[in-house]
């Protein structure tokens, strides 16, 4: 009998409720993203829904090196962000994760701090975001069937007080349920999925599109590619 894949494990109701199983999958994601230099230092944060009713979220703790994550680097929080299981403090952006989960069908939220997401978040900020279209890789985003799709990636102003910003994020997600992520200016990328593996794929697709756009811009082939 073949071994179950990571996504099969996540989608099993019995296994999905396990803190250790969710953190094990997020540890693998962290190593992969670290190797791609999308979460260097202690940047980035990852979460997965352990239960919906009541809402319980497993999330990386503050200050954890995402390339060296271990079980002890995860905490479980309730719907208000209060730690109910594990040691340490949750990521400072736990409110963003909870907002995304409430406003979408997300069961996992992943946040990266890549070079290209940081650069393009600043370039796209004056117009409120940037878009991608006519790339085959767009079909890696959930629900997208054609390269002719036009994907909008909003840019939100950075903050040290996320409680002031989450209402804006919630309004954005309710108003644009078709988007797959957003950028925080001079900060990085947020994306999500109905499983950890889907969210991982969305990071890979969007990071690819960000890098292609950035390199195209620097090459001088287009003065303002994909800026709204």
pLDDT digits (tens, 9 = 90+) for 6-45: 443 334 443 445 788 899 999 999 999 999 999 999 899 9
Instruction: Please state the pTM of the whole predicted model.
Output: 0.88
* End-to-end CA, the chain: 50
pLDDT digits (tens, 9 = 90+) for 101-111: 999 989 999 99
What is the C-alpha separation between 55 and 107, in angstroms, rounded? Answer: 11
Scored b (16 or more CB within 10 A) or e, 167-177 reads eebeebbeeee
pLDDT digits (tens, 9 = 90+) for 143-182: 998 998 999 999 999 988 888 899 999 999 999 999 999 9
What is the C-alpha separation between 78 and 128, in angstroms, rounded? Answer: 32
All domains of the chain in start order, with CATH: 6-219 (3.40.225.10)
Per-residue model confidence (pLDDT) at position 19 = 81
- Tell me the longest C-alpha to C-alpha distance in the chain: 54
**Please, how many CA atoms are within 13 Å of residue 118, restricted to the half-sphere of its CB?**
12
Cβ-based neighbour number of residue 52 at 10 Å: 9
15 vs 84, more confident:
84
Interacting residues of 84 by C-beta distance below 8 A, sequence separation 6+: 56, 76, 77, 78
Q: Where are the alpha helices (DSSP H) in the chain?
A: 6-11, 13-16, 19-35, 94-103, 115-124, 162-175, 196-219
Per-residue model confidence (pLDDT) at position 226 = 58
Per-residue model confidence (pLDDT) at position 92 = 86
Burial class from Cβ neighbours inside 10 Å (0-12, 13-18, 19+) for residue 96 reads: buried
């Amino acid at each position: 009998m073949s071994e179950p894949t990571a996504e099969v494990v996540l989608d099993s109701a019995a296994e999905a409720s396990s803190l250790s199983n969710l953190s094990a999958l997020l540890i693998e994601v962290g190593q992969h993203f670290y190797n791609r230099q999308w979460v260097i230092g202690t940047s980035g944060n990852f979460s997965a829904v352990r239960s919906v009713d009541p809402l319980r979220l497993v999330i990386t703790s503050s200050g954890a090196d995402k390339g060296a994550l271990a079980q002890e680097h995860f905490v479980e929080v309730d719907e208000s962000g209060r730690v109910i299981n594990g040691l340490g403090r949750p990521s400072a952006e736990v409110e963003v994760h909870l907002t995304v989960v409430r406003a979408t069908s997300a069961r996992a939220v992943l946040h990266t701090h890549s070079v290209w997401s940081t650069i393009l978040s600043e370039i796209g900020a004056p117009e409120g975001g940037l878009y991608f279209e006519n790339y085959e890789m767009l079909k890696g985003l959930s629900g997208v069937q054609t390269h002719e799709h036009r994907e909008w990636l909003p840019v939100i102003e950075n903050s040290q007080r996320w409680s002031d910003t989450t209402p804006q994020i919630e309004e954005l997600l309710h108003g644009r349920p078709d988007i797959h992520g957003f950028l925080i200016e001079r900060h990085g990328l947020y994306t999500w999925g109905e499983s950890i593996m889907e969210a991982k794929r969305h990071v890979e697709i969007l990071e690819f599109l960000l890098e292609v756009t950035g390199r195209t811009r620097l090459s001088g082939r287009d003065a303002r590619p994909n800026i709204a």
